[in-house]
Amino acid sequence: MSAPSSTIRWCRGRGELSRAAADHVEALLARKPGAVIALPTGQTPLGLYAELVARTAAKRLSPAQARFFNLDDYLGLSVDDPLSYARFLREHFLMPTGVPEDHIRLLRGDAVGIEAECRDYEAAIAAAGGLDLAILGLGTNGHIGFNEPGSNWSARTHVVFLSPETRATHMTQTQGKFAIPEYGITVGISTIVEAREILLLVAGGAKARPLAAFRRGIPDSKWPVTALLTHRNLTVLAEAELQAAAAEGVMGLTNP
């Protein structure tokens, strides 16, 4: 198995990456207005959401008929908490584009019965007909969603202990203003790979090593992103500045 460079579209900076990602979503909504989409959070998709908001305002697309889920959130946080991913998505995409409330189902990190919440979330995805598109970011340690290295690839939505690396990265992103919870709740890898399409967005120099693991083309539980290697409809958009660094990283992974 391999993941040749030709499977990756190399974009010249965040702007081009964001526009290409928005083109992908726009094309999906054009052919299936009621598409079911899983959304990521973090710094990488911010440009995508800004593009989609602008295109909605310009009437190039309308996400109002689509249904939206999120990939993950912190355990214990309400949807209104300033650190919650649910609030992030509402502020940056769902509210500005006018998506109806009944077309939104976000993880409730503060649910009293968290195991029941996980089951209900999976049931909601199934009732919607399954995910048409899962949009993913990439963690510095290779995680997708909050599926950390060593995660069970057959798991569905579940609670996960967040690695020190992930928590440190997120602490930096919030300028140290918030204490990052030790646990998260995430859509599992099994659910992600069942999506009919996957769009993986890779930006930032810290992503070179996990991208190298992906390009090596060997499924490896230490690098959850490699679970995507067998997917039949995967699009990878990555910043061009990562190309050389990721290539060098492949050699490093092959010859430790």
Structure tokens at 65: 């008929």
Q: Which residue carries 């052919």 as its tokens?
A: 31
Catalytic residue, candidates 92, 143, 158, 170: 143
Phi, psi of 234 (to 5 degrees): -110, 130
Q: Which amino acid is at 64?
A: A
**Of the residues 51, 132, 141, 239, which is catalytic?**
141
**Residues 129, 146: Cα–Cα separation, whole Å:** 23
Cα 256 to Cα 19: distance, rounded to the nearest angstrom:
37
Query: Residues 72, 73, 117, 239: which is the catalytic one?
Result: 72
CB atoms within 10 A of CB 4: 8
Strand partners, 183: 161
> 73, 132, 148, 239: which one is catalytic?
148
Q: Return the structure tokens found at 213.
A: 């693991």
d(CA 198, CA 71): 12
103 is catalytic: no
In b/e form, how buried is each residue of 25-40, taking b as 16+ CB within 10 angstroms?
bbebbeeeeebbbbbb
Residue 69 near residue 187 (C-beta atoms within 8 A): yes
72 belongs to the catalytic site: yes
What radius of gyration do the chain's Cα atoms show? 17
Residue with tokens 């502020």: 91
148 as an active site residue: the answer is yes
Looking at this protein, which amino acid is placed at residue 111? A
The two tokens of residue 75 are 């355990």
- Which residues are tagged catalytic? 72, 141, 143, 148
